Structure 1
């Protein structure tokens, strides 16, 4: 499996894009789209700047390693949305922590619901709790179900109403019409 376009966009939104190195919520030097020294060069440090194209190239290289880690660790294929959520989690906690996580242990035991709930256990520092909730929601909700439902146009609603009215009018006069809505 690979990270979907939706999964990639969601992960980028979660990580943010910063072109100057900064210390994250736990003090780790970070640059670009969540890139740290643990992922390899460039090594983020005070004063380091990159451009947007470099940030995208570093992210593409970094995320490929996390996708590989998740794909190799899974006991069986998952729906795309669940796979994307696990890549996001792995990207944030690191491959070693992911491999020994209760999320993966529960998946290997066949407990997909428990695995989703175990995502929420990764709640330190407190600043990651909204991210974990998002990953949990992403893990359990197919992308199609999360899309907003379009409201029918007024023309479609009128056409439906006219069809119902024509059906009602075609009823025989001796039929009970007490259930009709007017």
Structure 2
């Protein structure tokens, strides 16, 4: 294994990773409809949410950790090569946003597992659409996830 890399199953999302997700998701204590109409509360939490629902900051923090853990399990289950903590955090943010199943079946995961770190990194740019609409917030998030992920790729030969 390359220095600083280990299998994804050994990681948990870092405080930096949780902060990254929170910064991109935002946190609202009252349920709302996300840009594609999904009832959401707290920091991107969607399971069982109903409009009008309210939560405390403490509940939102617990849900963020829980939801990031679910995304992390998908990343661990579907990533079979050694990665860095920063790469894991970027992948957890990605899976948190698009869903674990979408990550697992993505070309991003396939390329990463084939050993093509840079090819995997390029795939982040493709995931900027929600219901066919290119969303500026997703463009920004994916660019930042890609930069975080690329810190673990070996330098490209020129």
Structure 1 length-normalised TM? 0.72
Residue 103 in structure 1 maps to residue 136 in structure 2: no
- Which stretches in structure 2 are left out of the alignment for 5+ residues? 1-10, 153-158
Instruction: Find the counterpart in structure 2 of residue 50 from structure 1.
Output: 55
From 72, 82, 89, the counterpart of 1:84: 89
1:71 is aligned to 76
Q: Which has the larger radius of gyration?
A: 1
**Residue 42 of structure 2 aligns with which residue?**
32
Q: CA RMSD in A?
A: 1.1
Q: State the structure with bigger RCO (CA 8 A, min sep 6), 1 or 2.
A: 2
Distance 1:77 1:23 in 2: 37
Count of residues in correspondence between the two structures: 137
Structure 1 unaligned residues grouped into runs of 5+: 38-42, 143-182
On the 8 A contact 2:74/2:101 being kept in 1, the answer is no
1:131 aligned to 2:141? yes
Richer in strand (by share)? 2
TM-score, length-normalised on structure 2?
Answer: 0.83
CA offsets, 1:97-149, max 9 Å, x none?
1110010010111100000001111120322111111111111136xxxxxxx
Instruction: Work out the CA distance in 1 between the residues paired with 2:141 and 2:37.
Output: 18
| Superposed displacement of residue 24, structure 1 | 0.6
User: 1:3-22 maps to which residues of 2 (within 5 A)?
Assistant: 3-22=13-32
Are the equivalent residues in 1 in contact too, given 2:81–2:115 (CA < 8 A)? Answer: no
